[in-house]
Amino acid sequence: MSRIKGANVLVTGGANGIGKLMGESCLLEGAAHLVIWDINDANLKNTIVEFSKKGFKM
């Protein structure tokens, strides 16, 4: 059983690169909630749209 499944996860720097990949991976593993923090507001908004299009509830 995954330790991520059902967990609340915080990813800093999650709007691009490795942070974005880790956030998506956590969602795929069944994280209950994902909090993405990033100083780049434009990338953050794009990531939210992208994850929503993939079917993740944001």
In the chain, which residue ranges form alpha helices assigned H by DSSP? 17-28, 41-53
- Is 58 inside a domain boundary? no
Identify the domain containing residue 35 by its residue range.
Answer: 8-53
The alpha-carbon radius of gyration of the chain (Å, integer) is: 11
Domain count, the chain: 1
Cβ contact 23:56 at 8 Å: no
Tens-digit pLDDT profile for residues 3-19: 999 999 999 999 999 99
Q: In the chain, at which residue ranges do the beta strands (DSSP E only) sit? A: 8-12, 33-37
Angle (CA) 10 48 45, round 5°: 105
- Is 16 inside a domain boundary? yes
pTM for the predicted model, two decimal places: 0.88
- Is 1 inside a domain boundary? no
Q: What is the pLDDT of residue 55?
A: 94
